[in-house]
Structure 1
Amino acid sequence: MTVLILTNEQDVTADMAVVELNAGGIPVLRLDPAELPGGVGVSGEFAHGAFHGHLSVGGRVVSMAGLRSVWVRRPGTPAARALAASDWLTEEASQSLYGMLRCTDARWMNHPDAARQARHKPWQLWLARACGLPVPATLITTFPRVAREFAERYPDLVVKPVSGAHPDGHGMAVPTTRVRPGEDYRDVAHGPTLLQRRVRKVADIRLTVVGDRLFAARARSEPQAEEADEAVVDVRFNDTAGPWRPVHVPRRVADGVHAYLTRAQLAYGAFDFAEDADGIWWFLECNQSGQFGFVEIETGQRIGRAVAEWLAGEPLGPAVESQGPDPAPHR
């Protein structure tokens, strides 16, 4: 049976799992919904009480009945590259592809319905707290007065986008940044603003969870680099952070993230935490399709293999040679 991977051609993180699946002799079909219609074809017949669906890409045709799993990794927007691209065609292509895939018995990483809900930052914060994970005091508001009152209670704040999307829509990330002293918060009236108590962190933690397997990495922070006014406190934009090293997962955190993924109905999640001087891991967010390639490269943790084995639904053969040390077990 075949593993279907929905992602773009430039997805190096997906490549790591594909290498493991190929080495294990597991058939893989990789396609980008952006190529539908055109480079990707889809067909489904509903007749006599049965459904028969097929996918084609690069001249290869695969029956949907033969799919063992679907990895929704970083797919493009359906029909985005069609000759007559339009919002209407995107909706038609999306409903056709994802609607037919829902008719199969394949396992999902992650199911589109669960993934859509998991992207909502307010719900993430609520669920993390409900699962016993420490969450910094957070406010999302369009009321300047409420923002000022929150700042009086928590004078040291950071600001970040609620959605994580760049306002120009170019797929760029917006860094988490400290709020300037003396901010009057009038601008929050122009759009929902997320303010959060700054964690005086000593390290950033990326915890990648694949099924029930945990892979945690820690990058040491330079405290003095975050003390300047208007400093960017986002590890993605901090050249002084790191290197990433494997780290044990505290039992409370392990229990919390397992509960989180169970309640969110996710098979995969990339959690970001800020570790303070007391060793507390403060939950920041969970990206249901987050990158793991940089962690595997720097730490040698076999995350790609774990993803491949989950998609295959069975242990694979000898591992592909790692680039670093074995992953640290959680405790």
Structure 2
Amino acid sequence: MTVLILTSEQDVTADMVVAELSGAGVPVVRLDPADLPGPVALSGEYVHGAYRGHVSTGDRLVSTNGLRSIWVRRPGVPATRVAEPSVWLTEESAQALYGMLHSTGARWMNRPDAARRARHKPWQLRVAQCSGLPVPATLITTVPQAAREFAERFPDLVVKPVSGTHPQDPPRAVPTTRIAPDADFSAVAFGPTLLQRRIAKRADIRLTAVGDRLLAARKPAVPDADHVDVRFSPSTEPWQPVNVPPRIATSVHDYLRQAELAYGAFDFAEDADGIWWFLECNQSGQFGFIEMDTGQPIARTIAEWLARHEPDSTSRPVGPLRMTR
């Protein structure tokens, strides 16, 4: 049985998991949907009540019925590398590929429909609330007066993008930024704006969830720094392993169940009272930098999950697995 990894060619994070799977003797095929049609080819047959299919890339051919799991890491958009790309060809290629893969009994990390939904930050905030995770007061609005009134209620605010990375080439990370006390909110009318109460944090927390395994790391924050986004923080402190509070663990498992995710990278801000405030959950977040600092076996944990022989169960947490050759 084979593990299929859908991601771009240059993905160091995927490389780490491929190395773990290969070391355990688990067959792996890795491809980028952006190469379909072309270097990636597929064929599926639905005849006499049965389904047979295969996907190939280079000299590798895998039967779709022989897949044990599919890791949707960071795949390209289908049919974007053809000579004459089009919206129509992209939709045709996407439906063919993902439709065939959904026809198998393979386990997903994560299912494409669940992953697409999980990207929506407003939806994340509501799921976090319903799961019992502390969520900072947040407003998403295109109404300047609503923004002004929110700022009066919560004078210390940050602004962040609703969707995440700016879609330029190459993509540009848009940092979370503190708002000046005398901010003019008139520009809110020109696009949805996410305002959130700033958490006076003493540390940043990254919690990587793989099935029911929770691996958390903590990085001390610079007190009252102008840079509130850990990605742009001047702190030189390394990430260190940290235990997950039981209440947070319970809520994270509930979040994963509601979101139907097998993997999630959760970001929290820890305040002076030790409360972990939910900021977001990235359904395909990086983990290499955490593993390098902490030594936590995140890549191996993902490889163990992918190597497991059992029916798809991404709607509930699952336990760790010892890989066998």
State the TM-score, normalizing by the size of structure 2.
0.94
- Aligned pair count reads 313
What is the identity, as a one-letter code, of the residue corresponding to 1:171?
A: P
Q: Does 1:293 align with 2:288?
A: yes
Corresponding residue for residue 144 of structure 1? 144
- SS of 1:13's equivalent? helix
Matched residue, 2:233: 238
The residue aligned with 1:163 is 163
Give the SS at the match of 1:189: helix
Written as runs of structure 1 = structure 2, the 5 A alignment for 1:21-170 is: 21-166=21-166, 168=168, 170=170
Deviation at 1:241, TM superposition (A): 4.8
CA distance, structure 2, for counterparts of residue 303 and residue 152 of structure 1:
43
Q: Distance in 2 between matches of 1:220 and 1:236?
A: 13
Give the direction of change, closer, same or farther, for the CA distance of 1:198–1:169 in structure 2 (3 Å limit): farther
Alpha-carbon distance in structure 2 between the residues aligned to 1:220 and 1:74: 29
In the alignment, the residues of structure 2 paired with residue 237 and residue 184 of structure 1 have an alpha-carbon distance, to the nearest angstrom, of: 25
- How far apart are residue 317 of structure 1 and its match? 5.1
Task: State the distance in 2 between where 1:16 and 1:71 align.
Answer: 13
Flag structure 1 segments of 5+ consecutive residues without an equivalent.
Answer: 319-331
TM-score, structure 1 as length reference: 0.92
Secondary structure, aligned partner of 1:223: coil
Query: Which ranges of structure 2 fall in alignment gaps of 5 or more residues?
Result: 309-320
Kindly provide the amino acid, as one letter, of the partner of residue 14 in structure 2. A
- CA distance in 2 between partners of 1:172 and 1:78 (Å): 22
Question: How big is the shift at 1:60?
Answer: 1.5
User: Does the Cα contact within 8 Å between 1:40 and 1:55 map onto a contact in 2?
Assistant: yes
* One-letter code aligned to 2:176: T
Offset of residue 106 of structure 1:
0.2
Corresponding residue number in structure 1 for 2:315: none
Change (3 A) 1:12 1:122: same
- Distance across 2 between alignment mates of 1:157 and 1:317: 50
Q: Decide which of 275, 279, 284 is 1:284's aligned counterpart.
A: 279
Letter in 1 for 2:26: I
Amino acid at match of 2:166: H
For 1:197-276, list aligned pairs within 5 A: 197-224=197-224, 226=225, 231-276=226-271
Deviations 1:195-237 (A, max 9, x none): 000000000000000000010000111114x2xxxx3311011
Paired AA for residue 101 in structure 1: L
Shift of residue 43 of structure 1? 0.7
Distance (Å, rounded) in 2 between the aligned partners of 1:56 and 1:101: 13
Q: Is the 8 A contact 1:221 1:241 kept in 2?
A: no
* Partner SS, residue 92 of structure 2: helix
Amino acid at match of 2:323: L
RMSD, aligned CA: 1.2
CA distance in 1, matches of 2:279, 2:131: 14
Work out whether residues 227 and 234 of structure 2, in 8 Å CA contact, stay in contact via their aligned partners in 1: no
